[in-house]
Amino acid sequence: MPINFTEQSTLHVGIIMDGNGRWATGRGLPRILGHRAGVEAARRVVEAAPDSGVGILTLFAFSSDNWRRPPVEVDALMRLMAVYLQNETPRCVAQGVRLEVIGRRDRLDAKLCAAIAQAEAATAPGRRLWLRMAVDYSARDAILSAARGLPELSRDALERAMGPPLDLLIRTGGERRLSDFQLWESAYAELVFTRTMWPDFDAAALAAALREFRLRDRRFGAVPQVPVYRQQAWLD
């Protein structure tokens, strides 16, 4: 049955896939081999997501600030992303995954743009998982460009122009910051930070993050959703 991506029961999970470089250098390997291992982790997580109750998965692959890296690393990342899209398209089609790339396109090379267009067209009917890859993505730029496209600025109009709100935001690699990822959509996201480097992340790590998420009491500014006897205990 096709899922309705706006249904409450399907979660929107965002992942800042961080730690590829440290995973590699810690093993005496060049950073690019960490990025290659990171592609394998992305494949594992995309495969595990739909059966874990994840309906929307937003993966941070390349930030607008990542252009500041050495050109040889940037080139390697661009090539890896194009190869990933080409290789994964048939798998996404078979698994009912709709792939979409968010972020700027005008600074990407023609080969990567063609791979994105091809992957998006081929996977458009997928309804098991909506996979959003953030490439040349900046949350601040995304908010600005959505706001600029509105005839009249209001919170509701901007909310509709932005992507779906995040339920759970995971960052691997040990850092505890958002690095310009989904700043609007994370207004009430639960944050899970793990020291696991992205190339070591797998279905079990995703399941652990989801378990932690389910233990959280999401209040959205309201009062705690806890049993009355526990509220009584606080009064004592």
Residues that bind ligand IPE (CB under 6 A): 16-22, 60-63, 66, 77, 173, 175, 177, 179
Cα separation, 35 vs 32, in Å, equals: 5
Residue nearer to ligand IPE on the CB measure, 60 or 130: 60
77 binds, among Mg ion, ligand IPE, none (CB under 5 to 8 A by kind): ligand IPE
Known catalytic residue at 18: yes
Handedness of CA 125, 109, 102, 32 (dihedral sign): positive
Q: Say which residues have a Cβ less than 8 Å from residue 185's Cβ, sequence separation at least 6.
A: 12, 14, 139, 162, 163, 164, 165, 166
- Residue of 20, 51, 65, 66 with catalytic role: 66
Task: Find out whether 199 and 173 touch, Cβ atoms under 8 Å.
Answer: no
The one catalytic residue among 18, 136, 167, 180: 18
Is-contact 34 21, C-beta < 8 A? yes
Q: Which two tokens stand for residue 174?
A: 């040990």
Residue 66 touches which of ligand IPE, Mg ion, none (CB < 5 to 8 A by kind)? Answer: ligand IPE
Closer to Mg ion by CB, 20 or 186: give it.
Answer: 20
Residues lying near Mg ion in the complex (CB under 5 A) are found at 18
Nearer to Mg ion, 18 or 136 (CB): 18
In the bound complex, what is the minimum distance in angstroms from residue 178's beta carbon to ligand IPE? 8
Active site residue 75: no
**Parallel, antiparallel, or unpaired for β 129-137 and 168-171?**
unpaired
The least CB distance from residue 173 to Mg ion, in Å, is 6
What residues are labeled active site? 18, 66
